[in-house]
Chains A and B, each alone.
With several copies, the nearest count.
Chain A
């Protein structure tokens, strides 16, 4: 897949809660094919302490309007400044980057996301649904107040929620949801904090579920040129930006 560097225009900003927001960015040209799990690398121009681009998963794609949606969590200067962009501002984007989630056919699939780890799961659920899979999505958040945009997932599958304080859905972490013990799945896909992904991996191993995770890493380039973003796998150091970010857990040392 050919990678591009293009200017996008910010056309919509949606604040979800104090930590998360969604950006709709629009290209002038038609978008190339984008697969679920891939990411963009954006330049943050409005902050003097940000030097490198910032990698963000592709949350959703609207080919008709040439729009990509990003789901961002404020963690430091770069993400904070992305949230301060004004409608009409230009964003330089390098994309589509990285490999993609596998799309099985007619299988029982489980998607587990926590925090900004939900980012790639919306677009993934669309693909899984289209391929005739049964899709269950568990989104884990701290409290009801943080659980957002659930509607977006509903056309593609069953949406379950866990909250740490029990204010919505089941209380606990997403990996503690009762559906994991009550039902069985063929595939699991997860993205979010490492401890959560490791719990999903452990569950998947124990239950013989094929499991793919989306890893994060410090990235300088995002397209395989710098070798900064390696993760230690059973086959040696692998670049998260080109050989990932999606890894099958059987290749990881988890």
Chain B
């Protein structure tokens, strides 16, 4: 038997495979397809202080090996999460984390504080990188000063695992990673979506109601992998890698580049069972390559 268990600081994952926020609903949507307890963890939809209707239709466009989305953090707000959703999902035998978003620092702080009270939520993922909201969102993740501020304030009220999700739409992602590490982040996850756009040549209209949106899927994988590799070398906290992972081979590449855990996003839409297939595929890879502990693969890229 191979060991798949990894640790994000004190947070134990039975295996390195998590699913990405906004692509996995509240987990329940996948309960028909997989046993959620087979996952290392999953991250629920972006949750904000108050109810948000999200952006108008159309919110999605297909692109070469990927998609653009402009959902815009549609959610019923953190109170609804705590009262209605949490009771339904709290007993899944895996790490259920909440993706926390906001447009002002106070919102992040209040949301995080409320989630801090939920016993069965071992951590939050602070989303300072959403490209689909007018105010805040990505702006926090594109300058060190604002990234520092929001992490510092949230850290004051949030006592459990604080993962910070970074934006790829920056000149130097390592400086942002170091900035949030400096304010007490327990781990960083990357990448969120790349800012992109699509136009329908026939109608001359943008394909998204918001004109620009977030690009995800295998098309972004080379950029994601590069950033994970750069950040893993720059920070001391664990790195969670994502962006275009479609299969176990992709997942292994992120781990070799330095990711302690990985997240599956867009791939869930195409194959709702892909996350558990990837757990199995990583195990097969380890057996084939005679690696008994997954931790031996983390950052094990061979640069000789």
Please report A residues at the B interface, Cβ cutoff 8 Å: 2-5, 43, 48-53, 92, 94, 217-232, 236-237
Please report B residues at the A interface, Cβ cutoff 8 Å: 22-25, 29-30, 32-33, 45, 53-54, 56-67, 69, 71, 74, 217, 266, 268-273
Q: A-B contact count, CB below 8 Å?
A: 91
Contact B268 A221 (CB under 8 A): yes
Contact A51 B67 (CB under 8 A): yes
Question: In angstroms, how far is the closest chain B Cβ from the Cβ of A235?
Answer: 11
Contact B269 A218 (CB under 8 A): no
The distance in angstroms between the C-alpha atoms of A153 and B86, with both chains bound, is: 47
Contact A237 B268 (CB under 8 A): no
Residues of chain B within 8 A (CB-CB) of A231 are 57
The distance in angstroms between the C-alpha atoms of A127 and B64, with both chains bound, is: 40
Residues of chain B within 8 A (CB-CB) of A53 are 269-270
Q: Of the candidates B53, B65, B269, which one forms a contact with A221 in the assembled complex, judged by CB atoms under 8 Å apart?
A: B269
Residues of chain B within 8 A (CB-CB) of A3 are 32-33, 272
Question: In angstroms, how far is the closest chain B Cβ from the Cβ of A198?
Answer: 16
Give the nearest-CB partner of A53 in chain B.
Answer: B270
Contact B64 A218 (CB under 8 A): no
Question: In angstroms, how far is the closest chain A Cβ from the Cβ of B93?
Answer: 20
Pick 21 A–B contacts, CB within 8 A, sort by A.
A2-B32, A4-B32, A51-B217, A52-B62, A52-B269, A53-B270, A221-B272, A223-B272, A224-B29, A225-B24, A225-B25, A225-B30, A226-B22, A226-B25, A226-B69, A226-B71, A227-B71, A230-B54, A232-B57, A236-B53, A237-B53
Give the nearest-CB partner of B33 in chain A.
Answer: A5
Residues of chain A within 8 A (CB-CB) of B58 are 217-218
Given contacts A3-B33, A220-B269, A221-B269, contact A52 B67 (CB under 8 A): yes
A5, A49, A226, A229: residue with the most chain B Cβ atoms closer than 10 Å: A226
